[in-house]
Structure 1
């Protein structure tokens, strides 16, 4: 992708559906290329009559310049997206804009996105979660708490992740209660995110739900991470029980389990 001309990369970025891998390869190439020419092309897309092009314009601006982007470029990209956001009606584009503002870590996103938290489309509400994720101001945390109870499971999952581990330094009774409420979820990953968030905050209410999770027939890696974070030595036998033949679990799970066991055994010495 790096050798392709700008018009060709833009054309590739616009192909296929939202998750088209070739399109995202082109978008990543545009991120890495950066520069005024790519910025101006993305802004043109952002103001296109086509919702598809507007969404891709936001996707390009989201991480334009890659890891080497300057604060000035970040502000320019955020300015363009925030301006376009006030006129946008398409749900998919609004979702892309919210996600882009999250990548840009733009503080103004909090007030701009907060009115969209109750939007009827889950794509928009997901964009709100992504846009709020980097921020620790009360409005952002409160919005994430509300969206952790969203009707859409994916929105709940990402909001719970945002509160539980991404905002680890934040600790209020309301935030803990929001995480605790998610322990009844049928989705194991979502429950796991809540377990980790509560364990990181050493909330004693998480011990028994975590014990039940570790005693289950299927244990997710997040439960193991929560056991390590909680640092309750009564969980060590349950972790030891999970050790088994190398072919019974993937290498990542085995590595996290070994680390959790070593950590708790270290505390026991």
Structure 2
């Protein structure tokens, strides 16, 4: 017999289902998302209680539920109440998986400065997944200390940490544009990891840094070009890149190419053609 859909389950049943399988179990996450949507005081109280559970998995799931609870309509007061429950638990947490959930939850709950010291204290944690969670938590802050930590994490030994820290820096480039931030992005232009390199290209292009033109040209001349690279060409708005983009359009195969890449490529060509008229 098939399991009932999540919307038909009681709150108790949904919380029980969050514990099934591994950390990324799809059924568990469907239950978490249903709890986010259902919201209310009962769900909050259960999630807050789980943050104090002797079970690391329950503590982590409590943070997962709290992270986006009542996402459709939550006031600053309600978010502050969520943080009141989360921060004491984070301060004493030792389990890596629970730490990942709690640090990522801080990112979902916004840039409340009360969470910043805890995130900063974990930026050199030996577990890469925890450092990844720290990046998620820091990504909402527009703060000099958070920026310094993200710059440090953009040099991390772990690819995923480095990629998401570079993404966070690139997305912040226009509103927190500093020489040090730009240098951190320039440092990532030599990355062999194409997504990290692409995030750096895009971040520099968004702030119209002239140093990105030649590295971007070399990438567009090469065999491996990503959606991020053509988005960078569009953001830079340098029409000298148009012939290279047109060359990629001619090489596109409608059946084999990624639809997202094709859409980004055609949009970038449209923008540069408009500028060249």
Q: State the TM-score, normalized to the length of structure 1.
A: 0.97
Q: Which position in structure 1 is the counterpart of 2:169? A: 163
The range that moved more, 72-81 or 218-227, is: 72-81
Counterparts of residues 137-148 of structure 1 (less than 5 Å): 137-148=143-154
- Residue among 250, 254, 258 paired with 1:250: 258
Give structure 2 stretches of 5+ with no counterpart.
1-5
Q: Which position in structure 2 is the counterpart of 1:153? A: 159
Runs of 4+ in structure 1 off by over 3 angstroms are: none
1:263 pairs with 2:271 = yes
Instruction: Determine the C-alpha separation between the residues in 1 that align with 2:57 and 2:174.
Output: 36
Contact 1:221 1:253 in 2 (8 A): yes
State the shift of 1:151 in Å.
1.0
Contact 1:62 1:101 in 2 (8 A): yes
Instruction: Determine the C-alpha separation between the residues in 1 that align with 2:270 and 2:177.
Output: 27
Q: Which position in structure 2 is the counterpart of 1:78? A: 83
Q: RMSD of aligned C-alpha atoms?
A: 1.1
Q: Which position in structure 2 is the counterpart of 1:219? A: 225
Counterparts of residues 149-228 of structure 1 (less than 5 Å): 149-228=155-234
Instruction: Determine the C-alpha separation between the residues in 1 that align with 2:77 and 2:175.
Output: 28
Give structure 1 stretches of 5+ with no counterpart.
none
Deviations 1:5-27 (A, max 9, x none): 01110011111101000000000
Instruction: Determine the C-alpha separation between the residues in 2 that align with 1:84 and 1:23.
Output: 22
Instruction: Determine the C-alpha separation between the residues in 2 that align with 1:167 and 1:223.
Output: 17
State the shift of 1:45 in Å.
1.0
Q: Which position in structure 1 is the counterpart of 2:133? A: 127
Deviations 1:34-62 (A, max 9, x none): 11100011011111001010000000000
Q: Which position in structure 2 is the counterpart of 1:6? A: 11
1:34 pairs with 2:42 = no
SS in structure 2 of the partner of residue 26 of structure 1: helix
Aligned length: 269
